[in-house]
Structure 1
């Protein structure tokens, strides 16, 4: 065999030995025992913001009269909101909807036009939750006739989210340690962490959607109907740990 051929054979043999020694190490690492657990964390906090949506609906024989009455009632309702020192940028009126009204005539066996209805939604953002009952009562007197909903919120959700994630990770670690100790193993380092879910549960007042006349009476007689309660934040994570058993411990 020539010197060149011998050199090539030695190089090929060296490469083969390198492959043989590397593969088992990788395979051994991939086959290491693991334990995967999920953890859930929950935290609560009182909301510090509220978004109130109420509607102004007016009916008249003509479209123009329905629109005029609606504009007048909406303006009065907005002035009632201003009376609570709500900044202008925190309230707005949605686009006016104008549609015909029909009633069925049994004698003629057909629908007949009986007038028009104009509707508009007003949205108010509040940073003072204690004024919600008074707001509802005032806009009722101002001409609003439908409460479309109250949405309680947090101005800063990041801190609550981090607290829920932290609790979820701690719960997963405690669960993994319990399982490992029960099965006579030792918990190793973290391999993977996956956030599975994250949720904000907002409280809803008992009067979520109702006629404003009833809502106004409730606001005056039973302000607790608009109690904000607490916002619950939950998070769930999936964590995989190495599991040390036998001689690996």
Structure 2
């Protein structure tokens, strides 16, 4: 047993030395990362605009009344608005093109320095927005509602019943401008213009904001009706595109 102890110790040492070698043989090789060259790209923006005559108008107007009591102010306002609605029907305006846009009742006070506010009465206000599909009726409609009791016209806005035709024309102009710009840049850079990678659109038709009544028309006492000019409106489409570039 004395002679076999060194042999056992030698065998254990050999096993301990061989274990790291065995582990080294089965370890996976280190990961190799290959850097991929990114495809060069060209990012551009362009727009297309179309001038088109409006074919509809929107007028916002109202009736404001005052009375000592809230009930009297509302009753007077309702009576005058009933006459206004009748005038709109006589002017050929469809009911679907008439929308109440505001109804308000508020107390009115007189203010004197060093004294508490004194209630003067109540004010009732009713606002209506009307779409006029025939521009030749804009002036006569404004005159008709004023004669029926309207005492405030907030403004007029011109628009398009169907803006799709103008929008599509603006889109074609925008794409053409984008393509021309991309070819110019590629030529200036001395590279080959590749396929388009992405295309995004913005803009589009937006109705004009209402103009004040003094910009809408000039009323003349000796004229037949209020003159109104629609002029032209702009439909604009904005696009951005990304093109691949050759090396």
State the TM bucket, normalised to the shorter chain. Answer: 0.7 to 0.9
Q: 1:227 to 1:203 in 2, by over 3 A?
A: farther
**How far off is 1:232 after superposition?**
1.1
Q: Quick one: distance in 2 between partners of 1:168 and 1:219?
A: 48
Of 46, 51, 58, the match for 2:65: 58
**How far off is 1:44 after superposition?**
2.1
> Counterpart in 1 of 2:55?
48
Q: Quick one: distance in 1 between partners of 2:193 and 2:224?
A: 59
> Counterpart in 1 of 2:109?
102
> Counterpart in 2 of 1:242?
244
Q: 1:219 to 1:152 in 2, by over 3 A?
A: farther
Confirm or deny that 1:208 pairs with 2:215.
no
Residue segments in structure 1 that go unaligned for 5+ positions in a row: 1-8
> Counterpart in 1 of 2:15?
none
Q: Give the total of aligned pairs.
A: 220
Q: CA RMSD in A?
A: 3.0
TM-score normalised to structure 1 length: 0.76
Q: Quick one: distance in 2 between partners of 1:234 and 1:156?
A: 15
Within-5 A mapping of 1:116-127: 116-127=122-133
**How far off is 1:123 after superposition?**
2.0
Of 113, 116, 131, the match for 2:119: 113
> Counterpart in 1 of 2:96?
89
Of 133, 142, 165, the match for 1:136: 142
Confirm or deny that 1:198 pairs with 2:200.
no
Of 80, 90, 93, the match for 2:87: 80
More helix by share: 1
Within-5 A mapping of 1:137-176: 137-176=143-182
**How far off is 1:203 after superposition?**
4.6
The 8 Å contact of residues 203 and 230 in structure 1, kept in 2 or not, is answered as no
Name the SS of the counterpart of 1:105 in structure 2. coil
Residue segments in structure 2 that go unaligned for 5+ positions in a row: 1-25
> Counterpart in 2 of 1:233?
235
**How far off is 1:47 after superposition?**
1.8
Q: Quick one: distance in 2 between partners of 1:240 and 1:229?
A: 37
**How far off is 1:155 after superposition?**
1.6
**How far off is 1:57 after superposition?**
0.4
